[in-house]
Structure 1
Amino acid sequence: MRALMDLYGAGLARAVALLSGRSGNPLGPLLDDEAVAGLLVLHGLHPDSLDGRIDRALRRAEAQGEVDAAGFDAGTGRLRLRRTTASGCGCGGGSADAVQERVEAALGCFAPEVAVVEWEDVPAAAEPVLLQIATRPPGRQDRAEAR
């Protein structure tokens, strides 16, 4: 089994090396693929840092803008994610549970170092208060006009 793992690892290392030297971004589609990304991580060949792979997982789960990484503890494998209360409101991303499931599944492929995801709900920014502009009530004079 070890020999087979070494063979796969050597093949993947060679593929990454061959594609890395080309112009453009030929590695991009491979790094965005969950199966390939998982294999690259397994063999220690993924070129992105852990933070980069967490961001990639959030993009893959279509959760960027709804979910932000708040911190990772390498000792415990705990990742804190902040989600605005506006996420999961039914306006595109689905329910909060669906977003959470997509994010955790993507993290399993792109960042298997994450053992536990701790979710924090952050209230969305309050809508600005609208300024009401109206005319003066009839019969009321401004002090400047009265002079």
Structure 2
Amino acid sequence: MSAEQTARRVEEILDAFAASGDGETARAAEELVRTLMEFYGAGLDRAVTLLKNRSADPLAVLMADEMVAGLLTLHDLHPEDTLTRVGRAVEAARAGATVGVEHFDPETGTLRLSAREDGGCGCPSTMDATRQRIEAALSCFAPEVSVVEMPLSGPAAGEPALLQIGNRPPGAP
């Protein structure tokens, strides 16, 4: 399908929405098309800019960019396998030193990560923040991952919560 044919088809679909008499749906459809066009335009602009300014392998330059890599993954055009892209996501989340990739199950979309012994204090709140950063990066680099399992290990796994002992606030009984 050419760009002209695609534009004509999109216009026909939007006209059909408008003719349906449901103005809210027609406006929503137009906004959807506008948003997708902006997204793809930004991705193409980014790819062209990266390729113009490249000094390395052009494919490597494109794969290192979250937006371009996300577009290629979205359309099943990314040349790297899932585990390689998962590794990129972990690195992009700045978690490579604290988290290891154990296993990915393509049937369920479940990714199992492990906390490395040498990474941080092992506090649940720290691990939650790391997990959130990884999940955000995975949405760009490896959207086929739908579940992230990251059990605690080290001092925080199986130990009771830290008891803070100190002075009571003024006026407390």
Q: Into which bin does the TM-score normalised by the smaller protein fall?
A: 0.5 to 0.7
Q: Does 1:122 align with 2:166?
A: no
Q: Is the 8 A contact 1:30 1:37 kept in 2?
A: yes
Q: Does 1:59 align with 2:75?
A: no
More strand by share: 1
Q: TM-score, normalised by structure 2?
A: 0.53
- Structure 2 Cα separation of the partners of residues 86 and 42 of structure 1: 35
- Structure 1 Cα separation of the partners of residues 67 and 103 of structure 2: 25
- Structure 1 Cα separation of the partners of residues 68 and 133 of structure 2: 18
SS at match of 1:27: helix
Q: CA deviation at 1:122?
A: 3.0
More helix by share: 2
Size of the aligned set, in residue pairs, is 109
How many percent of aligned residue pairs carry the same amino acid?
50
Q: Provide the residue aligned with 2:114 in structure 1.
A: 82
Q: Provide the residue aligned with 1:99 in structure 2.
A: 130
Q: CA deviation at 1:73?
A: 1.0
Q: Is the 8 A contact 1:89 1:96 kept in 2?
A: no
Q: Unaligned stretches of 5+ in structure 1?
A: 125-147
Q: Unaligned stretches of 5+ in structure 2?
A: 1-5, 8-35, 156-173
Q: Does 1:48 align with 2:80?
A: yes
Moved over 6 A (4+): none
* Bigger Rg, which one: 1
Root-mean-square deviation over aligned CA pairs: 3.0
- Structure 2 Cα separation of the partners of residues 85 and 36 of structure 1: 34
